[in-house]
Amino acid sequence: MEKSSVSTLLKMEGVTKRFPGVIANDRVDLELHNGEVLALLGENGAGKSTLMNILAGLYRPDEGFITIRGEKVSIHSPQDSMHLGIGMIHQEFMLVQTMTVAENIVLGLQDLPLIPPMAEIKRKIIELSDRYSLKVDPDRFIYELSVGEQQRVEILKLVYRGAEVLILDEPTAVLTPQESRDLNGIIKTMLSEGKSAIFITHKMDEVLSFSHRVQVLRQGKTVAACKTEGTTPQELANMMVGREILFKIKKAPYRPGEPKLILDGVTVEDPTGRPVLKDISLTIYEGEILGIAGVAGNGQTELTEVITGLQKAVSGRITLDSQDMTNKQPLHLIKAGMSHIPADRGAMGIVGDMSVADNLVMKRYRSEPIASRHGVMHATKIFGFAKKMISFFKIATPKPETLVKFLSGGNIQKTILAREIDSCGGVLIAVYPSRGLDVGATESVRNNIVAQRDKKAAVLLVSEELDELLSVADKIGVMFEGELMGIVDAATTNKEELGMMMAGMRGGNA
Ligand SMILES: Nc1ncnc2c1ncn2[C@@H]1O[C@H](COP(=O)(O)OP(=O)(O)OP(=O)(O)O)[C@@H](O)[C@H]1O
Ligand SMILES: [Mg+2]
């Protein structure tokens, strides 16, 4: 990217924000120059989203102030923020699922007449989507769109409203590698028009390719602010975590045991009768991690859902420990020892209005020591158990009683991971487990998954990151258009071979 000019567009000075039991932002200074991308980095819970939500008008700072082009501003609401030319894409999308793309884009605009001129609005949307290569149909409903498409709607919403400062809170965490590259292009177009951006991400390669400067937060405080040029991923990771990150996995030699989970000719159809998973056969052994690679949307979700009882197989057979598990209820599978880290954690993984402790014990409440022999739960035991899990998995929460919805994005994630990895009774189905996690947490989650395998669990690991699969998995299967293109040895394959299979070529022992 080109060099940025040095005039200051936006400044935050001495910004402090407290929540019960935490100082989310502690006297933070931040500066954004005209036409630049600032990468905002930090561990899960470091205070990145909070700081940006202050700019977006969702939170008021307890102390400190904000200036834009040298003038002090007060931001009391998202509307104020919008009028100042600030637009934010949140970690959790905020689109209304049952409304169309066009309706979402103009939702909340105050200067809109009572009956909005939809034809004109749509024309403007189409014009903008051409200009930024953000292909979306204004008449589609949000629930019909993929995550990548929904994000394009979020970006369109901002450019429609004339945002000059774009705040992107982990925009690529849910995107495929291709969609991330598209986003890179979109941001470049915006910069060339003089817009500026603050970009939150945990992916170091993105920091290096997207940003001009970086600012690192740790426990609410700024620990570094510097030019991106000249830094390395290793340095950035160390600054965030405050210790050396090794990017290494501790793994015992591969010694698979008996076949544990077997799929034989499993086919799944969508509601219209189109096969979305075609004749899948695979075996996962005790003490083995089978990685699944593939561009998102090629049947990975259906594969994990048919295994975990969330989708029906129309043909084929699934066995666990030689017992037929085809089309069994999820509870039946949980009792048989299956754990599941789902892709859609908001919808399936967690209850935001329950405490961290309750979410952690959710799968254990039926068994001792949490429940007594008579099924009565022991509050003190729940807290004891929760405290151990919180410290082992380093979940940043003020107390075990804190409601999950008050945790940072990555710590919500860790709560699910902790519960599922801990309750694993022999089979772990992990879908994008390191999504949204900081580098330190990623390292520890990968090691925890490997530890389950070393304890003889059979693990299915779906990931979009080939580096993750190559370092963690023993075998890697590649999916394309609902089919398995083949299964290869992780130790001997390489990215080129996997890439070819991801594009639809058969390989390995297909
Ligand atoms: N609405 C809230 N109520 C109470 N505490 C909150 C609230 N929002 C955030 N926090 C706390 O503030 C701290 C910072 O959270 P924040 O969401 O800003 O972290 P983050 O850097 O964005 O992390 P992540 O990478 O996990 O998204 C955390 O300890 C979090 O629990
Ligand atoms: Mg966040």
Q: How far apart are the first and last CA of the chain?
A: 43
Token code pair at residue 480: 């394309």
Sheet strand arrangement including 165-169? 86-89, 165-169, 196-200, 37-42, 213-218, 221-227
| pLDDT at 506 (0 to 100) | 92
Q: What DSSP letter does each residue of 151-203 carry, written as one string? A: HHHHHHHHHHTT-SEEEEESTTTTS-HHHHHHHHHHHHHHHHTT-EEEEE-S-
Helix (H), strand (E) counts: the chain: 17, 20
Q: Determine the pLDDT at residue 4.
A: 42
> What was the pLDDT predicted at 297?
82
C-beta separation of 193 from 187 below 8 A: no
Q: Do the domains 8-241 and 250-337+425-434+457-510 sit in the same CATH topology, yes or no?
A: yes
Cα of 386 vs centre of ligand 2, distance in Å, is 23
Q: Which of 48, 84, 23 is nearest to 202 (CA)?
A: 48
What is the Cα–Cα distance from 22 to 282, expressed in whole angstroms? Answer: 47
Tokens of 185: 């292009």
For residue 293, the cross-strand partners are 478
Do 352 and 329 meet the contact criterion of CB atoms below 8 Å apart? no
- Considering every ligand atom, which ligand is closest to the CA of 408? 1
Instruction: Output the pLDDT for position 423.
Output: 85
Q: Record the tokens describing residue 29, joined without a space.
A: 């200074």
Looking at the CA of 407, name the nearest ligand. Answer: 1
Q: Cα of 470 to ligand 2 centre, how many Å?
A: 28
- Comparing CA positions, the residue from 288, 325, 310 lying closest to residue 475 is 288
pLDDT of residue 150: 87
Q: Residue 440 CA: which ligand is closest?
A: 1
The residue with tokens 């084929």 is 316
All structural domains of the chain with their residue ranges: 8-241, 250-337+425-434+457-510, 345-423
* Ligand 1 neighbourhood includes 411 CB (under 6 angstroms): yes
Mutate to test the pocket of ligand 1, among 19, 90, 218 (most ligand atoms within 8 A of CB): 19
Position 463 scores a pLDDT of 92
Go through 276-300 and write b for each residue having 16 or more CB atoms within 10 A of its CB, e for each that does not. bbbebebbbbbbbbbbbbbbbbbbb
Homologous superfamily (CATH) for 8-241: P-loop containing nucleotide triphosphate hydrolases (3.40.50.300)
Q: Kindly state if the Cβ of 50 falls inside 6 Å of ligand 1.
A: yes
Supply the pLDDT for residue 373: 54
Distance of CA 406 from the midpoint of ligand 1 (Å): 7
Q: How many whole angstroms from 73 Cα to the centroid of ligand 1?
A: 24
The environment of the single-atom ion ligand 2, i.e. residues with CB closer than 5 A, is 49, 91, 408-409
Tokens matching residue 192: 């060339």
Phi/psi at 205 (5° precision):
-65, -35
Closest listed residue to residue 494, CA positions, set 510, 471, 460: 471
Name which residue sits closest to atom 3 of ligand 1, judged by CA. 406
Task: Tell me the average confidence (pLDDT) per consecutive run of 10 residues in the chain, 510 residues long.
Answer: 66 96 96 95 95 96 96 94 92 85 85 79 90 87 84 89 92 76 83 92 88 95 94 89 77 94 96 94 98 90 94 97 95 92 74 90 64 61 88 92 92 91 92 90 91 96 92 96 96 92 81
Q: Distance (Å, rounded) from C-alpha 96 to C-alpha 175?
A: 20
Ligand 1 pocket test, candidate residues 23, 41, 44, 50, most atoms within 8 A of CB: 50
In CATH, which superfamily holds the domain spanning 250-337+425-434+457-510? Answer: P-loop containing nucleotide triphosphate hydrolases (3.40.50.300)
Q: Is 19 in the pocket of ligand 1 (CB under 6 A)?
A: yes
Check if 44 has its Cβ closer than 6 Å to any atom of ligand 1. yes
Say whether the peptide bond before residue 369 is cis (omega within 30 degrees of 0). yes
